[in-house]
Amino acid sequence: MEMSERKTKILEAIIRNYLETGEPVGSRTISKCSDMKLSPATIRNEMSDLEEMGYILQPHTSSGRIPSDKGYRFYVDRLMKDKEKEVEEMHEVVVQKADQLSVLLQQVAKLLADNTHYAAMISSPQIHHNKLKFIQLSKVDANSILAVIVVEGNIIKNKMIRVDGELDDDTVLKLNLLLNTHLNGLSLEEINLGLITLIKERAGIHSDLVGSVIDAVAEAIRADENLEIYSSGANNILKYPELTDNNTKTSEILSTIEEKEQFGRLMEESLNEVNAGNENSTGIQVYIGNESPIQSMKDCSVVTATYELEDGMKGMMSIIGPKRMDYEKVAKTLKRLQDQLDALYRKKD
Amino acid sequence: MEMSERKTKILEAIIRNYLETGEPVGSRTISKCSDMKLSPATIRNEMSDLEEMGYILQPHTSSGRIPSDKGYRFYVDRLMKDKEKEVEEMHEVVVQKADQLSVLLQQVAKLLADNTHYAAMISSPQIHHNKLKFIQLSKVDANSILAVIVVEGNIIKNKMIRVDGELDDDTVLKLNLLLNTHLNGLSLEEINLGLITLIKERAGIHSDLVGSVIDAVAEAIRADENLEIYSSGANNILKYPELTDNNTKTSEILSTIEEKEQFGRLMEESLNEVNAGNENSTGIQVYIGNESPIQSMKDCSVVTATYELEDGMKGMMSIIGPKRMDYEKVAKTLKRLQDQLDALYRKKD
DNA sequence: TGTTAGCACTCAATTTATACGAGTGCTAAT
DNA sequence: ATTAGCACTCGTATAAATTGAGTGCTAACA
């Protein structure tokens, strides 16, 4: 059986209705509210077809229909257009290029959650070909050295290193010079064992110290080590009865959000997919129920979007809500935030 | 009416029982399980008295009794002793003096939550008389300077500062010297306007830059600016029916935990109280229901404890759970963690 | 042939009635 | 002072009855 124009319209009406009310929707409702003039009986016939085709389902005989995952998917892919719905004006974005990226990201997460009334997560931006900008060693006290490592994109890493022997200012200066001359501008791949050995040799008795510094450099450059994830509005999940009818389910969802690791994987995967060329215009992806690789999200939908700061630093943000989330609003909110982050960094950079 | 020996015993039995089961407890139960040989009727008379005195209450006529806030308070203050209950062996503490304090604290929070099965929060340690250790300016690129500020207790703050004009290496070196000579070892109070003006004068055309650095120093030293709070196990709250019977309540509790600010105040207050001399031996404090200044915690109990790292850096950790939480276990877990943190830092320092 | 009115049927949710039982307070006997 | 006994309360559990939104099917209709 193939999809007729009329079936499409009815399916859309069902989904729209369900998104609003969260209740199964019956034939009479559709007959009344929709613009086409059809009796409930006719609608029923069509609905019966739609069910056979897998787009909708009945929680029990003699109840209205609700969209299946396949139904939602159809809606997201084909029906959802930018109907110019008023997304209520987003709070003026107060995101300011904060000193610490973490503060900015936390702000953005909160903004997303507050505006959508769903849960929001955001990952720190990942750089894939990042290079070391410079290293600065400083003597903090008799036997500790602070290594400050700056990576392209201005990611800063501090590492306190203990040294056993005494270390005079002059030596620190020399080591600084040594490290910077050899390492500046290099990427992870370019710092190979040969180079490391060379530097250690030149460092003489301080080769241990230099080793520690290089370890720290590796840690700073490696993207996945730096992955941090912020979340906000997890408790918005509690607003949706279909997610709270069962305490175990709720708990699973909330702890998955709290623990974050799983979302790390999801977002990374999603980011790769976007990068991998089959670029849909906006970089927004929707995972409905079981489409998501995260088991505990089977009753939720997850919408992810990329964002980009200067220097090609790309990260992911995502919204977690019930399957009947307001996809349009979510997509719009994400897009807006993408734009604003973009503008913020383009302008001031 | 005053408290007899027997009343105390009965009250304790009631509370112990309620802590275990979460169900109102009746006279027959007490008569049976308690060691004294009294008929239910006698118990009932005593219970009636206890109710009049405000230690217990009936959810409805003809149900058993549950402890009131006052009852819990009595229990915590007078009845709860270190009965050598087996707190199941705490997971070997994997806390390692992590590079970033934030990682350590997050770990501790998780440890607390996992061991108690309640929600846990921990604040970053606060120092009250902290002094600047040193400042390091480095030129990152043509027009940005990285200021690294190290405060006693090895708190590190990075600040990126833009400069308009060109800046050669030599100037940076001079500024470094200037700042360090004048500021090292000083506390917030000692850096006064006179001193600031003096330094700015000496910095000549770079007085703006120096101003920014000094602002950053102030920010780094001021304790309350650095207050960070980590939480874990918020969803453990969902395990307790008395906290989830009503979705609004649950949501309030969870968002209070997520937002953290309110706990900041609570913990600060609590820390002051402990410092303020009426030091109870362990620095553990219990807030039962409305005793806590946080409105949304009225159905919960909050147990706070201080911890101390090296250099007198004191912070707070706290456990949030239902009023019928296992106070003994919680207190014990907190004490153990205090000890471990202590040991960890004493040993390696 | 597509549409619709009509009707019997289903089934979750709501209401009502009933029984149960854990627990109480009070009184009178020990 | 303690306790056995008893009437009473009231939340909860169970079952039966009712309601109503919704369906599928059939037959009539344009």
Residue in chain B lying closest to A239 (CA):
B247
Q: Are residues A324 and A279 located together in one domain of the fold? A: yes
**What is the residue type of B82?**
D
pLDDT band for position A216 (cuts 50, 70, 90): confident
Q: Which nucleotide is nearest to B44 (CA to C1')?
A: C24
Instruction: Count Cβ atoms within 10 A of the Cβ of residue A343 and give its class: 0-12 exposed, 13-18 middle, 19 or more buried.
Output: exposed
Q: A207 Cβ partners below 8 Å, 6+ apart?
A: A200, A201
Size of interface A-B (CB pairs under 8 A): 81
| Residue range A66-104, pLDDT digits in tens | 999 999 999 999 988 755 555 555 554 444 445 567 888
Q: Say yes or no for a CB contact (<8 Å) between B234 and A258.
A: yes
When pLDDT is cut at 50, 70 and 90, the band that residue B248 belongs to is confident
Looking up residue B168, the CATH number of its domain turns out to be 3.30.390.60
Residue B262 pLDDT:
94
Residue finishing a domain among B225, B242, B277:
B225
Query: What residue type is assigned to position A18 of the chain?
Result: Y
State residue B102's pLDDT score.
80
Q: What pLDDT score was predicted for residue A90?
A: 53
Q: What is the DSSP code (8-state) at residue A77?
A: I
- Bigger pLDDT: B227 or B54? B54
| Domain membership flag for residue B329 | yes
The 10s digit of each residue's pLDDT in B31-63 is 987 677 888 999 999 999 999 999 999 999 888
CB contact under 8 A, A250 and B238: yes
- Given this model, what pLDDT does residue A62 score? 86
Look up the domain containing A180 and give its range: 132-225
Contacts of A293 (CB under 8 A, 6+ apart): A265, A266, A269
* Per-residue pLDDT band at B90 (split at 50, 70, 90): low
In a domain, A323, yes or no: yes
The percentage of chain A sitting over the pLDDT mark of 70, rounded to a whole number, equals 89
| Mean of pLDDT values over B296-323 | 91
| Alpha-carbon gap, residue B38 to B42, rounded angstroms | 6
Domain C-terminal end among B79, B113, B144: B79
pLDDT at residue A19 tops 70: yes
Identify the pLDDT of residue B142: 81
- Give residue B94's pLDDT band: very low, low, confident or very high (50, 70, 90): very low
Residue B170, strand partner residues: none
Q: What is the CATH number of the domain that holds A42?
A: 1.10.10.10
Rounded Cα distance, B262 and A85, in Å: 37
Out of A99, A136, A251, closest to residue B235 by CB: A251
Q: Is there a single domain that holds both residue B140 and residue B75?
A: no
pLDDT(A279) > 60: no
Note the pLDDT of residue B289.
95
Q: Cβ separation of B158 and A160 shorter than 8 Å?
A: no
B115 and B69 within one domain: no
Which has more pLDDT, A93 or B133? Answer: B133
How long is the CA B40 to C1' D6 vector, in angstroms?
Answer: 15
Q: Is residue A319, in this structure, part of any structural domain at all?
A: yes
**How high is the pLDDT of residue B279?**
56
Neighbours of B201 (CB within 10 A): 10
Judge whether A85 lies within some domain: no
Query: What pLDDT does B168 receive?
Result: 86
Mode of pairing for the β-strands spanning B284-288 and B229-232: unpaired
Contacts of A259 in chain B (CB under 8 A): none
Report the run of H or E that residue A108 belongs to, with start and end.
Answer: helix A101-116
Q: Is residue B84 part of a domain?
A: no
Report which residue type is found at A293.
P
pTM: 0.85
Q: Which residue has the higher pLDDT, B115 or B346?
A: B115
A37-65 pLDDT per residue, tens: 889 999 999 999 999 999 999 999 889 99
Query: Residues A113, A251: one domain?
Result: yes
Whether residue A277 is predicted with pLDDT greater than 70 in this model: the reply is no
Let me know whether A248 and A213 are in one domain: no
- Do A168 and A287 lie in one domain? The reply is no
In a domain, A92, yes or no: no
CA separation for the pair A305, A300 (Å, rounded): 17
The residue count for chain B: 349
- pLDDT value at position B299? 95
Output the pLDDT for position A230.
Answer: 95
CA dihedral of B186, B189, B191, B197, whole degrees rounded to 10: -170
Q: What is the mean pLDDT of chain B?
A: 86
The answer to whether the CB atoms of B148 and A148 lie below 8 A apart is: yes
Residues in B lying within 8 Å of A, measured between beta carbons: 99, 133-134, 136, 138, 140-141, 144, 146, 148, 150, 154, 156, 158-160, 232-235, 238-239, 244, 247, 250-251, 254-255, 258
Given a cut of 50, is residue A349 above it in pLDDT? no
Q: Which of B241 and A232 is assigned the larger pLDDT?
A: A232
Q: Could you tell me if A221 and A232 lie in one domain?
A: no
Residue nearest to nucleotide C24 (CA to C1'): B62
Q: Is the CB of B62 under 7 A from strand D?
A: yes
Q: Is the CB of A47 under 7 A from strand D?
A: yes
Tell me: do A120 and A247 sit in the same domain: yes
Tell me whether residue A84 is in a domain: no
Which residues of A make CB contacts under 8 Å with B? 99, 133-134, 136, 138, 140-141, 144, 146, 148, 150, 154, 156, 158-160, 232-235, 238-239, 244, 247, 250-251, 254-255, 258
- For residues B239 and B340, membership in a common domain is answered with yes
Q: What is the pLDDT of residues B159-204, one digit of tens each?
A: 888 888 778 888 998 999 999 999 998 887 888 889 999 999 998 8
Confidence (pLDDT) at A309: 80
CATH number of the domain that residue A264 is part of = 3.30.450.40
Q: Where are the alpha helices (DSSP H) in chain B?
A: 5-21, 27-33, 40-52, 69-74, 101-116, 169-183, 193-203, 207-221, 241-244, 247-259, 261-275, 327-348
* Minimum CA–CA partner of A152 in chain B: B140
Please tell me the number of Cα atoms within 13 Å of A336 on its side-chain side: 19
Q: What is the side-by-side strand order in the sheet with B144-151? A: B132-141, B144-151, B155-162
Residues B179 and B241 in one domain: no
Asked whether the beta carbons of residue B148 and residue A150 sit closer than 8 angstroms, the reply is: no
For chain B, the domain total comes to 3
Residue B86 is predicted with a pLDDT of 53
- Whether B150 and A140 lie within 8 Å, measured CB to CB: yes
In terms of domains, do B73 and B175 share one? no
H, E, C per residue of B48-108: HHHHHCCCEECCCCCCCEEECHHHHHHHHHHHCCCCCCCCCCCCCCCCCCCCCHHHHHHHH
Kindly list the residues from chain B whose CB atom is less than 8 angstroms away from the CB atom of residue A159.
Answer: 99
> Which of B190, B206, B225 is the C-terminal boundary of a domain?
B225
Looking at the fold, whether A203 and A74 belong to one and the same domain comes out as no
Tell whether the model's pLDDT for residue A129 goes beyond 80: no
Is there a domain that residue B89 lies in?
no
Distance CA B73, CA B79 (A): 9
